[in-house]
A = this chain, B = another copy of it.
């Protein structure tokens, strides 16, 4: 009976405009369990007790849904980076802590991470807000670098350029790890970042 009521309640909420949110969550859930290849619009609809065509009221097509999934991912990534920055005891540790958080985010959400970055430009054409969400995550990194520059802890180059370099290094580690290119160990990415943190520090000195 309680279950019945839960379903009823859910149903009602869909009519209040939450189907969009529910679809993104369902897509993320499916991807986490079975990869992005397992995500089908028909399956997502069925899982939510909604017709196959209902989602076209909220998304132009499958790619638009994936763009929303990507945006959701960048919001989560920014949250993880901000939290890591706050956790750092000393200013000098902020960037390292953020690097660990970044690689860990990717390792824990591999399918989601791939959607965030795969064909980014094409997805931005579908949903211009994606660019802003991705930019916000990137700015968390730029902010940490600007702070370090202000305290004279790292070189005074263009912070955007330095941030791009650090981003590429961490993104490369995350991607290689996700794709299994660093070996089958699930924490291969975290390990490589641990080994590389001193190199990155030296690069910025």
Contact = CB atoms under 8 A, between A and B. Distances in A.
Given A122-B180, A171-B172, 16 more contacts: A117-B179, A119-B179, A120-B180, A121-B179, A164-B192, A164-B196, A167-B172, A168-B173, A168-B192, A168-B196, A169-B169, A171-B176, A172-B173, A175-B175, A200-B203, A203-B203
A181 B134 contact: yes
23 contacts: A114-B118, A117-B175, A117-B179, A117-B181, A119-B179, A120-B179, A121-B179, A121-B181, A164-B192, A164-B195, A165-B169, A165-B195, A165-B196, A167-B176, A168-B172, A168-B176, A169-B172, A171-B175, A172-B173, A172-B175, A202-B203, A202-B205, A203-B203
A179 B114 CA distance: 11
Interface of A is mostly: helix
Q: How many of these chains are in the complex?
A: 2
Given A165-B195, A165-B196, A180 B124 contact: yes
A75 to B, nearest CB: 17
A192 to B, nearest CB: 6
